[in-house]
Amino acid sequence: MTGSDPRRQILLELLQVGLAAVDGRRRTAATLRSLPGADDPHLRYHLVAVGKAAGAMALGAHEALGARLQRALIIAKDGHLEAGLNDLPDAQVLESSHPVPDERSLRAGQLLWEFVAELPPDVMPLFLISGGASSLAEVLAPGFTLADLRELNTAGLASGEDIAALNARRRRISRLKGGGLTARLNGRPALALFVSDVPGDDPAVIGSGILGPVAAAGAATPDRVSRHVIARIEDAMQAVSARTFDLRTWISDSRFGGDADRLAVRLAHELWLSDAQVCVWGGESTVRLPPQPGRGGRNQHLALAAARLIAGVDDVLFLAAGTDGTDGPTDDAGALVDGETCGRVTAAGLDVERCLAAADSQSALAAAGELVHTGPTGTNVGDLAVGLKLSTAEAQAWYERHSARTAVR
């Protein structure tokens, strides 16, 4: 990130506030402590956690359940495992592939399939599901191969297909998705907590419906899974709004989606026309990739596309970031741009339009010093975008008024 502009610091702090509000560890622990019957001292649990927030959610379950948690299978994305997971009782911890499955995804899926089949009759199965589960664990339907699975995911990601449509196609070649794992429970009671990254926060869609309703799998067995969505993008958005204090703040009442280039036009227009000083959006955009794309993700692309529209405009900044701490194939969460971003890209010898056309937003944003890096966050509720209209002097004055209250708790 460039400089020490207080406006940039405000946006980065607001991002951290939003992430803290949907932290998988905190939300899981709080939910398990509040659910009726979950505090039964005689109830024992076997835990499955799958997704980008699997490690954080598993640690939250251990905080709440203590010795009542007796076995765990945790499947997460490479680099998204928190310290301390191996201290969980009888824990098997796996790193797997995302966004394109590999052989580890099939191994993880087989272990998951067997874990459910081997559940003792006297334990409560606890499933912790977050975005990324579709790629991280798979049991293929008869007649399909890993090559088929990889081709489906790769083509879907490159085409900019929305997640609901891609998940529907994933379910057709899977024994896990679309309620398949629910059917594997054979009607026994279970508890499932979801960190949602999909429109509508529907358990039938989260993780391609891996713990969705059993009817989706065409099974006749009863569905006795108690499902609870414990974190969603609106929670992050509301937390951001609460922390802006006396800044005029507007929150979108619907999630964004669709092509990132078009979306940048819409968001920049809303920011420019709004009377608010802070605008907050949440959702998930798409980027159609050229045959040989560069590096970058949808949030970096969205931010760079927005930078074109605010070029030369004073006192306007825009941040877009993935709440999981990654963006596409990169380790950066997104980017924070202002009216001088395009000038900095040009001064570095790059062309903004060419970088966007080549899906190479990271090169431009890295050269301009605009990338935002959080590391793995322990959550995944989609993408958060925040726009700010404030002068440097106004931002400094805001800090002076609220310096005792701006630290992330």
Quote the pTM value: 0.92
Same domain, 97 and 225: yes
Same domain, 284 and 218: no
Averaged pLDDT score across all residues of the chain = 92
| Element of type H or E holding 280 | strand 278-286
Q: Is residue 220 part of a domain?
A: yes
Query: Percent of the chain scored above 90 by pLDDT?
Result: 78
Please count the helices (runs of H) and the strands (runs of E) in the chain: 15, 13
pLDDT at 216 over 60: no
Choosing from 170, 205, 231, the residue where a domain stops is 231
- What's the total number of domains in the chain? 2
Q: Is 310 left (phi over 0), alpha (psi -120 to 50) or beta?
A: alpha
CA distance 323 to 18: 9
What integer is the mean pLDDT of 302-317? 97
pLDDT at 409: 46
pLDDT at 408: 46
Q: Is residue 409 part of a domain?
A: no
- For residue 136, the domain's CATH number is 3.40.50.10180
Q: Is residue 27 part of a domain?
A: yes
pLDDT at 4 over 90: no
pLDDT at 289 over 60: yes
Q: Is 408 left (phi over 0), alpha (psi -120 to 50) or beta?
A: beta
CA distance 206 to 194: 8
Q: What are the backbone angles phi and psi of residue 127, rounded to the nearest 5°?
A: -110, 130
Band (pLDDT 50/70/90 cuts) for residue 1 is very low
Choosing from 198, 231, 264, the residue where a domain stops is 231
Same domain, 241 and 172: no
Same domain, 36 and 164: yes
Same domain, 196 and 243: no
Give the three-state DSSP class for 75. Answer: strand
Q: Is residue 1 part of a domain?
A: no
Choosing from 231, 253, 286, the residue where a domain stops is 231
pLDDT at 149: 83
Residue 187: domain span: 23-231
Give residue-wise pLDDT tens across range 131-182.
Answer: 888 899 999 989 899 888 888 877 776 666 666 677 677 777 889 998 999 9
pLDDT at 217 over 60: no
Q: Is residue 65 part of a domain?
A: yes
Same domain, 218 and 78: yes
Give residue-wise pLDDT tens across range 48-57.
Answer: 999 999 999 9
Q: Is residue 101 part of a domain?
A: yes
Q: Is residue 359 part of a domain?
A: yes
What integer is the mean pLDDT of 28-50? 94
pLDDT at 300 over 50: yes
Give the three-state DSSP class for 331. Answer: coil
| Element of type H or E holding 256 | strand 256-259
pLDDT at 267: 98
Same domain, 274 and 191: no
Angstrom distances, CA of residue 350 to CA of 138, 341, 343 = 41, 12, 10
Band (pLDDT 50/70/90 cuts) for residue 98 is confident
pLDDT at 220 over 90: no
Question: Which residue type occupies 323?
Answer: T
Give Cα 211 distance to the centre of its chain.
18
Sign of CA dihedral 393, 398, 401, 406: negative
